[in-house]
Amino acid sequence: MPLSILIALFAVSILLALFVALKAGATRSREGKMLAFVAFAILPVISVWGGFEKHLDTATSTQFCLSCHVMEDYGRSLHYDDTSYIPAKHYQNNFVPRDHACYTCHTDYAMFGGVKAKLHGLRHIYVQYFGMVPKPADIKLYNPFPNETCLHCHLGARKFEEVNGHHKQPDLLPRIKSGKTSCMSAGCHDTIHEVGDLKDAVMWPKESKQ
């Protein structure tokens, strides 16, 4: 639901609730009772549903993920002017939607992947305000990055299937597909955010370093 429509829905709900509350005498009639039920039960529930959905959608945005100070360096790492950095390459070439870049790669595509991502997010909020916030370079994934996330987009793509690097050994491609060999193994795609490199990095576009 677009934000403007949701705001309008909330505004109507609030105004109607206030109107019925301040004109409670009108609820003596049958129509008034129906209006009160709509104002105090139906519209609020619809509004909550819309608001909750909007919040969940917002939580998948890059802007949302980078709104915490500790994540700022990870956002900047998307602008390395060097395609060996996997997140930067994906972000700059629109391999992932830029406005949902973090969520696209950091949620798994299994049935409850989104739920797990949200639960991790709640833990991040707890740590941000009540725990010890680690330095950006010390932040680690909960689990090794799963090949399934990469394969969600790359599996079947001609470049993925035919590139020489994936045929260095006869059984390499099957091992990648089965997850036995990580895409991020040493010597493969092992240059990720590397926020420690930010200090001297050349950025794209140039102004994004600030």
Partner 1 sequence: MNIETRLKRAGLIVALGLLIQLLSLLPIHPLAFIAFVSVGVPIMAIGVILFLLAILAPSSESR
* Residue whose token pair is 């689990």: 143
Task: Give the nearest distance from C-beta 93 to partner 1 in angstroms.
Answer: 25
Task: Give the nearest distance from C-beta 83 to partner 1 in angstroms.
Answer: 29
Q: Supply angle C-alpha 58, 98, 66, rounded to 5.
A: 55
Kindly report each contact of residues 50-59 with a partner whose C-beta sits within 8 Å and lies 24 or more positions away, as own/partner.
50/1, 50/6, 50/9, 51/6, 51/10, 53/1, 54/1, 54/3, 54/6, 56/118, 59/103, 59/118, 59/121
CB of 43 or CB of 198, closer to partner 1? 43
With b for 16 or more beta-carbon neighbours within 10 A and e for fewer, the 136-174 pattern comes to beeeeeeeebbbebbbeebeeeeebeeeeebeeeeeebe
In angstroms, the CA 203 to CA 92 distance is 11
Residues that bind partner 1 (CB under 8 A): 3, 6-7, 10-11, 13-14, 17-18, 20-22, 24-25, 27, 33, 36-37, 39-41, 44-45, 47-48, 51-52, 54-55, 58-59, 61, 63-64, 67-68, 121, 124-125, 128
Would you tell me how many other CB atoms lie within 10 Å of the CB of residue 18?
Answer: 11
Task: Give the nearest distance from C-beta 120 to partner 1 in angstroms.
Answer: 12
CB of 64 or CB of 91, closer to partner 1? 64
CB of 109 or CB of 126, closer to partner 1? 126
CB of 33 or CB of 135, closer to partner 1? 33
CB of 44 or CB of 114, closer to partner 1? 44
Residue 203: beta bridge partners?
A: 80
Task: Give the nearest distance from C-beta 179 to partner 1 in angstroms.
Answer: 31
Task: Give the nearest distance from C-beta 132 to partner 1 in angstroms.
Answer: 18
